[in-house]
Amino acid sequence: MSLHYTEQGNLTGEAILYLHGSGMAGWSWQDVISRLPQYHNIAVDLPGHGASHTIQAQTLNDMAQSVADFIVETIPNRKVHIVGLSLGGIITLELLRYRPDLVTSAVVSGVNAIPLPFMTKLMVQLMMPLMKNDFFIRQNASMFQLDDESSALYFDSMKQLDMTTLKSIMPEIVNYSPAEQLRGIHVPILFVAGNEEQNINVESVALLANAMEQAVGVLAPNMHHGWSGENPVLFAEMIKKWIANKEIASGLDVMVDKHQQLVSG
């Protein structure tokens, strides 16, 4: 069974595959995609999520393999640019480890590359039984600063979320530390986090960018974890600049720029 997806923009243009965060679905990219009509924009629902909720995964690698199979089947003989947020960012990194030959470049936002502290892991474990609670979902929607339309879509996505898949991959997510496995991968990648995210995500930007040969690490000032919805204009500009010329969009703060060092060297 193939992943559910939608596509927009110029279907003969360069392909961008968008991977959403946990509990979300492809709809969460609409405000970004609408600002990039020159590209072939493809937003998938990851295994266990949205309209792909009946497709289960046991591991992060399972999810990455599903995405790899999707690329091969849906846009054969073409490489793609990947844009991943949170869980989608982690799957992007797993895809780079598993099938880097399918990826032209990547933008990865809001991932942890350091295992979470014990108390945070405990909090995640305690929250799991509440994931489908109406009040909990609405509080999350408010925290993500979603408008009324997006809040309704988020509510539906959370109700569809396959908890078996989420519970299976969560131990990997809270202990995620991929930096050493990424060394030697020759794909230009932009790592980013909102500077108002949790410290682990901010610290992970430099850690990951320093682990790869063609990587850049930046922070988005005054932005939070779901900043693709908080400032879709800047997020879309960041994607466009990176894909076109491996440039950094104005308004982002540079932490690490190994790509420029490579070009200059």
Q: Which of 147, 179, 197 is nearest to 256 (CA)?
A: 179
pLDDT tens, position by position, 158-197: 999 999 999 999 999 999 999 999 988 999 999 999 999 9
Instruction: Kindly tell me if the per-residue pLDDT of 264 is higher than 50.
Output: no
Tokens of residue 97, six digits:
């480890």
Q: Assess contact for 6 and 28: CB atoms under 8 A.
A: no
125 vs 261, more confident: 125
**Can you tell me the distance from the alpha carbon of 87 to that of 46, in angstroms, rounded to the nearest whole number?**
9
Cα angle, residue 146 at apex, residues 234 and 13 outer, rounded to 5°: 45
Instruction: Kindly tell me if the per-residue pLDDT of 259 is higher than 80.
Output: no
Q: Identity (one letter) of the amino acid at 265? A: G
Calculate the CA dihedral of residues 74, 16, 207, 99 and round it to 10 degrees.
Answer: 20
Percent of all residues in the chain with a pLDDT value above 90, rounded to a whole number: 88
Per-residue pLDDT, 16: 98
Per-residue pLDDT, 263: 45
Instruction: Kindly tell me if the per-residue pLDDT of 254 is higher than 50.
Output: yes
Cα–Cα distance list, 110 to 20, 104, 160 (Å): 11, 20, 23
Q: Assess contact for 66 and 57: CB atoms under 8 A.
A: yes
Span 232-259, mean pLDDT? Answer: 93
Per-residue pLDDT, 112: 95
Mean pLDDT of the chain: 94
Per-residue pLDDT, 260: 62
pTM: 0.96
Per-residue pLDDT, 218: 97
Percent of all residues in the chain with a pLDDT value above 70, rounded to a whole number: 97
Span 47-58, mean pLDDT? Answer: 97
pLDDT tens, position by position, 196-232: 999 999 999 999 999 998 899 999 999 999 999 999 9
**Can you tell me the distance from the alpha carbon of 257 to that of 213, in angstroms, rounded to the nearest whole number?**
10
Q: Mean pLDDT lowest for which of 3-17, 24-38, 251-265?
A: 251-265
Per-residue pLDDT, 77: 86
